[in-house]
Amino acid sequence: MTKTNTHIIVFGASGRMGSRLCTLASADPSCTLLAAVVRDDSPRIDQPVRETSATAPTFTNAVFCGKFRDIPRTVIVDFSSDAGVLRARALALDINASLLVGTTALSPSTVAALHAASEKISLLITPNTSIGVAALSAAVAAIARTLGPDFDCSIVEAHHAMKKDAPSGTAIRLARAAREAGASLPDNQVVALRGGDVVGEHTVRFAGAGEYIELTHRATSRDLFARGALRAAAWLAQQPPGSYTMDDVLRVNA
The CATH number linked to 51 is 3.40.50.720
Q: Is residue 208 situated within a structural domain?
A: yes
> How confident is the model at residue 7, as a pLDDT?
97
Total-model pTM: 0.83
Catalytic residue among 7, 160, 163, 217: 163
Active-site residue 217, yes or no? no
Kindly state whether residues 207 and 136 are assigned to the same domain. Answer: yes
Kindly state whether residues 84 and 160 are assigned to the same domain. Answer: no
Average confidence (pLDDT) over 151-178: 94
Catalytic residue among 159, 160, 164, 217: 159
Average confidence (pLDDT) over 222-226: 91
Q: Is residue 1 situated within a structural domain?
A: no
Kindly state whether residues 179 and 68 are assigned to the same domain. Answer: no
CATH of the domain at 213: 3.30.360.10
Kindly state whether residues 168 and 62 are assigned to the same domain. Answer: no
State whether the Cα torsion 1-252-250-241 is positive or negative: positive
Kindly state whether residues 24 and 138 are assigned to the same domain. Answer: no
Active-site residue 163, yes or no? yes
115-162: pLDDT as tens digits: 999 999 999 999 889 989 989 999 999 999 999 999 999 999 999 999
Kindly state whether residues 94 and 51 are assigned to the same domain. Answer: yes
Kindly state whether residues 115 and 146 are assigned to the same domain. Answer: no
Kindly state whether residues 165 and 136 are assigned to the same domain. Answer: yes
Q: Which domain does 49 fall in, by range?
A: 6-125+223-253
Closest CA relative to residue 32, chosen from 1, 55, 13: 55
The rounded distance, in Å, linking the Cα atoms of 123 and 83 is 17
